[in-house]
Each structure stands twice: as structure tokens, then as C-alpha cells.
Amino acid sequence: MTMLNNDFLALTLANQDALVPFQFTFPQGDAFVEDTGILRLEPNVPSTVNLVVSVGIHGNETGPIELVNQLVTSILDGRVSLNVRLLILIGNPVAANVGKRFCEVNLNRLFNGAWQQYDGFESKRAARLEKAIEDFFAPVANDAQQMKLHYDLHTAIRGSVHEKFVVYPFVKDGIYNQEQLGFLAASGIDAVLLSHQPTTTFSYYSHAVHGAHAFTVELGKVFPFGENDLTRFADLKQSLIVLFEQGVLAQSEWSSMNVFRVLDSLIKDDDSYVLNIADDVRNFTQFEAGYRLAHSNKSDYHIEQSGDAIVFPNTNLPIGQRAGLMVRLIDPSALKLG
């Protein structure tokens, strides 16, 4: 097997279910295609940075897939030099081929072992992706000098008041990493959501199981392949290139980002569950105290404090799943930083 035109995306989409592993060299090191959508790049020089970039965990979120594929091609062609260990993951090629968020089960609810409760290929894929990350971090697992990073790139179903934002997975000690916040600000991120509880998302898995600095990174709205304006990702592209080439996290003043605390997860608890919002309501839309935002035959949700806002509203999902996050703007100077 070979990779035509150094096009990892084309190879992945043409072999959506599986791929016999193979390896080759590129100008700065060795490349290992470990399975479909799983590419490990090991530079010839020693590095203390171990970076995972995942895209397409939701198959229809094509902008980040195109961005990262371009970067991979640039590395393999020798136009961008690579001096850090890098694992690239294209999460759900089967769903990407049919332009869907997922086929059977939402892949980004299956991590941290949650895949064990489901059948089907997305469950197998979650296990395979966890293993890819475990293998990648294994050589540096017990070395405190080694930095472990995972940026899981997505685009959102709705428009957003803050176009680019991250979900900072729940951190047990409540200490947030200043260097990561600075990197996110330099990458054009407008807002940060501090998770209030453990989840079964990919970024939470990397943080909780491997101690990585890990984030779900939302880069704008979903568009089909070929319809993304990649110039909108210019800041992130630039800071990733600096990280690839110099092993350095670009920095900007992070306190200019809007920092939100997650208050609650709205859970679809019944088929009768309704969100009282229009279809075009954007992420981070705020409500007045007392507004009846959600209800079902089993529950009612009223806004607690004026200004509380909704992110990821969606009721087109199975009972028991998250129908949105309620968030509240906080003063960034109140954060405990490490």
C-alpha cells in the first residue's frame, strides 16, 4: 500500500473500514499508517512534545478534516518541517463518506470505555481510537518532562455568538493550564467552556486517562467537503505550524477570551422533550431569569440567572443524551491557574 500524492484523507476515505498497516519515510522522519485514519509521524530528532490532532470524530464536520489534511500533506512533501511526535486521527471515515454526523451511535459519546455498552462499528472505532492514543503516549507515559497534547477539532451544527470556542474537559483539581489558554487565544479561540463533570468525549478521555492537555475545539459551522472557507482557520493553522516546526506553544493574552462555567447538562429525558428556542438560535444565546427553556412530561427547566446561555442545543438524539449545555460567563481572574 502507498499514499498517493501524500493525501491521507483520500487514502482514508477510500479505505473507510480498515487498512493494512504500512510505513514510509518523509523528509523529517518515519510515517506509520497504523489503520484507516490513523497516521503516526515520528521525527528523526528527539522531541518532548507528543501531539494528537483528531478531526472528523463527527463525519460531517469537514472543515477541520480539510485543514489537517493540508497540513499533513505539507509535512510529507517537506514544505512544513516536523520536529514533534504527531498522531493524526480521522475519526469516522464511514460517516464522512456519507456526509453524516454519525451512522449508528454518536462516536463522541463512546469514549472513556463507554463503547463497551454499545454494539456496531462506531463502538469498535472508539475502542480503536483509544488504543491508538494509548500506544502513542505509552513510550512517554511516565516521563514528566514530556508534554502530552490532544486537540480534537470539530465544527458546530449552529451558528455561534463566539465563532470559535473550546470545551475544557472537567479537571478534578480545578486548576487550568495558563500556557494552554495562551495557546488557544493565539489560535483564534474566542471562548472557553469549563466542564462541570466527567464525560464520555474524546478530549475528556485523553485528559482523564493519559493526563494530556486535551480540548474539544469548535471552529465554526459545519459545511460539506469543498465548501469550507479554510482562511477562517488561519490563526489555528499558524499556531499548529509553529508547534510542528519549533515544538513551541504560540502565546497570546488569554484573558481577552470569554470564559464560561458549565452550569448544567440538559438531558433529553423523554420523547416529549422540547427546547423552547427557534431553530436559528445561535450558541451562547442568553436568556432572562425564569424563562422556561426546556420541558417534557417528566421535567421542566427554567433559567436560573439572567444572562445564562445555551450551547449545543439539539433534541434530535436518543433519550438519555445531552440536549444542550447551560453556561454562565465568569470573571477569568477568578480561575485557579497552573
Ligand X SMILES: O=C(O)CCC(=O)N[C@@H](CCC(=O)O)C(=O)O
Binding residues for Zn(2+), by number, are: 58, 61, 154
What whole-number distance in Å separates Cα of residue 224 and Cα of residue 215? 23
Closest by CA position to 187, among listed 230, 222, 238: 238
Minimum CB distance to ligand X smaller for 41 or for 107:
107
Tell me if 259 sits within 8 A of 335, measured CB to CB.
Answer: yes
Q: Which of 66, 179, 218, 304 is catalytic?
A: 218
- Partner interacting with residue 314 (select from Zn ion, ligand X, none; CB below 5-8 Å by kind): ligand X
- Partner interacting with residue 201 (select from ligand X, Zn ion, none; CB below 5-8 Å by kind): ligand X
Minimum CB distance to Zn ion smaller for 57 or for 303:
57
What whole-number distance in Å separates Cα of residue 191 and Cα of residue 32? 35
What whole-number distance in Å separates Cα of residue 43 and Cα of residue 91? 23
**Nearest residue to Zn ion, by Cβ distance, number only:** 154
Report how many residues bind Zn ion under the rule CB under 5 A: 3
Q: How far is CA 176 from the centre of its chain?
A: 18
What whole-number distance in Å separates Cα of residue 151 and Cα of residue 233? 14
Tell me if 247 sits within 8 A of 48, measured CB to CB.
Answer: yes
Instruction: Choose, by CB under 5 A, the member of 58, 128, 210, 232 that binds Zn ion.
Output: 58
Minimum CB distance to ligand X smaller for 84 or for 323:
323
To Zn ion, the closest distance from the beta carbon of 93 in angstroms equals 15
Which residues bind to ligand X, rule: CB under 6 A?
58, 108, 154, 156-158, 167, 201, 203, 216, 312, 314
To Zn ion, the closest distance from the beta carbon of 108 in angstroms equals 6
Minimum CB distance to ligand X smaller for 218 or for 308:
218
The radius of gyration computed from the CA coordinates of the chain, to the nearest angstrom, equals 20
Select from 33-41, 58-66, 219-227, 265-273 the region that touches Zn ion (CB under 5 A).
Answer: 58-66
What whole-number distance in Å separates Cα of residue 46 and Cα of residue 165? 32
Q: Where are the alpha helices (DSSP H) in the chain?
A: 8-14, 62-77, 93-97, 121-137, 178-186, 202-210, 234-246
- Partner interacting with residue 233 (select from ligand X, Zn ion, none; CB below 5-8 Å by kind): none
To ligand X, the closest distance from the beta carbon of 160 in angstroms equals 9
Minimum CB distance to ligand X smaller for 111 or for 244:
111
Residue type, 322: R
Minimum CB distance to ligand X smaller for 203 or for 228:
203
Chain positions 143 to 162 lying near Zn ion, rule: CB under 5 A, are 154
To Zn ion, the closest distance from the beta carbon of 121 in angstroms equals 18
Structure-block grid coordinates of residue 68: 489537517
- Partner interacting with residue 203 (select from Zn ion, ligand X, none; CB below 5-8 Å by kind): ligand X
Angle between helices 234-246 and 178-186 (to 10 degrees): 130
Q: Is 163 a catalytic residue?
A: no
To ligand X, the closest distance from the beta carbon of 201 in angstroms equals 4
Select from 33-41, 51-59, 116-124, 144-152 the region that touches Zn ion (CB under 5 A).
Answer: 51-59
- Partner interacting with residue 329 (select from ligand X, Zn ion, none; CB below 5-8 Å by kind): none
* Strands annotated E in the chain: 22-26, 29-35, 38-43, 49-55, 85-90, 147-156, 165-168, 175-176, 191-194, 213-221, 258-267, 274-275, 285-286, 292-295, 300-302, 309-311, 322-330, 336-337
To Zn ion, the closest distance from the beta carbon of 152 in angstroms equals 8
What whole-number distance in Å separates Cα of residue 63 and Cα of residue 258? 23
221 near Zn ion, judged by CB under 5 A? no
Q: Which positions are catalytic?
A: 218
Kindly list the residues in this chain that would bind Zn ion in the complex (CB under 5 A). Answer: 58, 61, 154
